[in-house]
Structure formats: structure tokens, C-alpha cells
Amino acid sequence: MQKSTIAVLIIGLAAAGCSYNKQCFGDGVCKITKDGVVTYEGPPDKVAAYKAKEEGDKQAAAALEKAYADAPRREAAEPIRIVVVANTAAAGLAPLMATYQQMLEQSLAANPRLKIVPSSQVGLFLSGTTGDGFDKKRIGDAAAVDEKLTRVLRDLSGAADVVIVLHAEEKSKSGFVSGKGGSGVIEMVNVDFQGSLSSVYAFAPAQQSETGRSTAGLSMSGIDKSGHASQGELKGKRDPEQDRGALQSLATWMTQQIDSKIAAQLPATAAAAEIHQQHAKDIFTKK
């Protein structure tokens, strides 16, 4: 297919039990994806060129998967590069995510074999987007590790062997209290941490959750001994240091997962670098 600047019109429709996406290129060809099935419409010769490129991309992807799978395995003395991606769905926690990420990285770094890759080193790749229409999203916005994230870090970045996604949400926790003839319910909002990880070479996600101890305040409601109902609220500033224990527990679990299920399956460092360099060279040559 000749190189050209092609304008793309994307039409996305979402309906119950049906997914539909249509991309129309400026050369008269449209790509239609309906319920996962891809078809093309347009001039036959141009459609054939698009299909040939798509088939070539599939074959190249399969060859790359095989190259990593067949590569020599990593020796126990070789380091394992880890990148942590922080993500949050709770607006109130967004300002704290950098702190939580740093805490997790510090705990992981206690294992001398684990080498932390600064997220800024892969920031350009995380800011990229995938999908079309309503399915379009930033690669780094995943709430849990997914295959697209691992493939981008492996095929484009080449800077990490394992990717971890740290996700956080506010979680309400309540308890019953009584005394002096009265009773009531106390509710506090803690942080629920969800950590997921996978090797970037062979997608196999694992996930674990831990709840922190910090709270931004308490809300109380109850009935006194005279039968009168009352309620109140105490607001405060969340102290992220109180959540360090939960993040240390996550790091312990992650380290165990890497040691027992990932480390022995990683390609040797030199082999991984050589495959990545060849892949980058192939991309450049195709362009």
C-alpha cells in the first residue's frame, strides 16, 4: 500500500447485545467491525491492499510472540525491570496517587533483583491511545493490567519486563457501637488498593486487593438512651502514611508472584533486547 495521508471518519454505535464500529478512510475504503467481526467495503483493489497489510501484521505479530517464547530463559542473577502505573477512579484520591506509587515502589525495591523503571521513562507510550470511537482510551488509564498495556511496553518501549497497575478507590466501612444506653453506626471511608501485574512477554494477569487504614473523616448516626436520633460528621485530612502497611502487603504478594510464576519464564536480558531491537528495525524498514 502506498504511503499517504488518510483522513479517518470513525462512527461508533453501542446497543444492547451489539457492538458496531465503522472507520472510513479518505481513499474510499471503510473498515467495519461488528461484534468482533471485521469486514471492508470500497474499491476491490484497495480493499485487497488493506487485507494484505492486516494479514502481514498478524503474521509479524505471531513471529514476534514465537521469538520471545523460544528465547533463552533468564538467569537467576539477572535483574527484573518493573514499571508501576498508578491509576485511580476516585477523584479525591488522585492527588495522592504519586505518593502511593512511590510507597509501593519503595517496598518492591527491597528485593535487590527488582529494578524499578521510573514511570516517566515510559510516559510517552502510556499517553498513547487505543481503540476507536467510544472504545478509545489512553493506554495508561487501565484500572487493571491488560494485554494492550503489556504489548505497548514490550513492543514499543522495551524498558520493562513486568508491568504493575496500582488502582485505588474509596471504600466505605461501617461498624456498630453501643454504650451508656445508646447505640449507633460509625462509617469511615478507607482506601481500597487493587494491584495487578503481568509479564510483558506473555500476558498472564494476577490481581490482589488490600485496604488501607487512612480516612478523611467519620460519619455517625445513632439513638441515645432517651430514644432521640442524632447524627454527626468529623472531617479530616487523609494521612497516606497510614496506608503504607497495605501497600507493603501488596508489594509482598507481588514479589512472591514474580519470584514463583514470572521470573523463570522471562527471556534472557540480552535476548529480549536483541528481539526488541530487531522488531524496531523491522517497523522502521516497513515505514
Alpha helices per DSSP H over the chain = 44-70, 97-108, 123-126, 147-152, 244-257, 269-286
Q: What is the DSSP annotation of 101-168?
A: HHHHHHHHTTSTTEEEEPGGGGHHHHT-EESSGGG-EEGGG-SS--HHHHHHIIIII---SEEEEEEE
In angstroms, the Cα distances linking 168 to 26, 107, 215, 239, 250 are 42, 17, 14, 15, 12
Phi, psi of 50, rounded to the nearest 5 degrees? -65, -45
What is the fold of 80-286? Double Stranded RNA Binding Domain (3.30.160)
Can you give the pLDDT of all 287 residues of the chain as single tens digits?
Answer: 444 444 555 555 555 556 778 888 889 999 988 887 889 999 999 999 988 988 888 888 888 999 999 999 999 999 999 999 998 777 789 999 999 999 999 999 999 999 999 999 999 998 887 765 566 778 888 899 999 999 999 999 999 999 999 999 988 876 554 555 555 566 788 999 999 999 999 999 999 999 999 988 755 555 555 555 555 555 678 899 999 999 999 999 999 999 999 999 999 999 999 999 988 776 655 55
Q: What SS3 class is residue 254?
A: helix
Rounded to the nearest 10°, the torsion over CA 127, 128, 131, 135 is 20
Q: What angle do CA 126, 130, 134 make, to 5 degrees?
A: 125
DSSP one-letter code for 75 = P
In this prediction the pTM is 0.77
Where are the domains positioned within the chain?
Answer: 8-70, 80-286
Helix, strand, or coil here: 273? helix
